[in-house]
Structure 1
């Protein structure tokens, strides 16, 4: 069954640029021209992924991203003309799975969309449930619970957590995490993993400043605590 994409941009020409090509690639397309319309359509039609412009009328793309993350695990790709690296980190920390700077090619957009969707689908892993301390991680359902209460993670956050939790005590470099959990989209941007790790810690740690689960190995990368 084809995936449904929600394209959100207040410039009609941008939507006209993206929509026909994405339909040819086999996606079902719905569109929205402002933030409030985007939230309403996302709620009603539950798209697999949202391609979300940063600058929108009525409600910014950042605010839309924040609200979407409260309601579901759909993929989110932020699209913006802003090139400041700080803006990128902000977008990722608020829950975006990827960040694309204008101008971009349609083939690059499709590649990014397919990459996020693969992470969302979990690459078809076998049904496995891991218990790590107070965390329960279901590979079959792509879900995580802590003390019985479900934690909402983005597909990218889930893949990072799963990669680390599968081998407690093993140290992963940022590059290894990028390759294992984020595939090859970010190979020249290792800081991306720090933003995602920060978000995961805020969700799973009792004290994110003193993490028990995802620990920093200074000068190298991260490991999952082997005493959890």
Structure 2
């Protein structure tokens, strides 16, 4: 599947490597080197995917991602040299669809690109809101409410909830949840699922430290439970 891809990377050599790999797979690619230009070009060109470096002059990638999420649903693959959990959580909370920590191999980058683009073309989930305990998950309208109050969540977070809401009380492994989000190599991205779960618990649980709905099944994975009233 070919797409319009915007590469926002302040290192010209790295940006050229990424551009060549994308072009080799047939993608139409535009390269920019600062955050302000990235935002302007995204608005003008309307790409299907943005490969977005965090550390850029002017506006950094996090601020660009935050603004993009207020304006569109464009796919965002974030590149970061800051690999602490707080940094990665922040990127996901701002709406990045995936992240890749520098240094990375171009082959891994292209695997992430292919998976994100495949996911964006999948058929819509089965219609009908799904009530689970205090939650109401509407896959078609991409809406989540807790006790009737709308709650915002990222696409990755929502994909996890929608998958689990279809089979309440079923235990999902991290690898199975990756299939519903991005399906990347589990050795490098199962941690992403854990970070999504942390974010979701902050949003849906009365006490995130003692979750009653999004429950850990130790040694296996997670399940979505009706919880306790």
Give the equivalent residue in structure 2 for 1:107.
107
Deviations, residues 26-82 of structure 1 (Å, cap 9, x unaligned): 212223221122222223333221111111101111222222233332221111334
Give the equivalent residue in structure 2 for 1:137.
138
The more displaced of 84-93 and 66-75 is 84-93
List aligned pairs for 1:17-32, cutoff 5 A: 17-32=17-32
TM normalised by structure 1 equals 0.79
Whole-angstrom CA distance in 1 between matches of 2:77 and 2:63: 14
Give the equivalent residue in structure 2 for 1:170.
170
What root-mean-square deviation, in Å, do the aligned CA atoms of Structure 1 and Structure 2 show?
3.0
Is the 8 Å Cα contact of residues 136 and 144 (structure 1) preserved in structure 2?
yes
Give the equivalent residue in structure 1 for 2:154.
153
CA pair 69-215 structure 1, distance change in 2 beyond 3 A: farther
Whole-angstrom CA distance in 2 between matches of 1:85 and 1:194: 11
Give the equivalent residue in structure 2 for 1:200.
200
TM normalised by structure 2 equals 0.79
Deviations, residues 114-143 of structure 1 (Å, cap 9, x unaligned): 11222233x22564223225524234x6x2
Give the equivalent residue in structure 1 for 2:223.
223
Query: Which 4+ stretches in 1 moved above 6 angstroms?
Result: none
SS in 2 for 1:14: helix
Displacement, 1:180? 4.5
User: How many pairs align?
Assistant: 223
CA pair 211-83 structure 1, distance change in 2 beyond 3 A: closer
Is the 8 Å Cα contact of residues 145 and 151 (structure 1) preserved in structure 2?
yes
Deviations, residues 81-136 of structure 1 (Å, cap 9, x unaligned): 34445533443343322222333332221110111222233x22564223225524
Whole-angstrom CA distance in 1 between matches of 2:87 and 2:150: 32
Whole-angstrom CA distance in 2 between matches of 1:172 and 1:216: 10
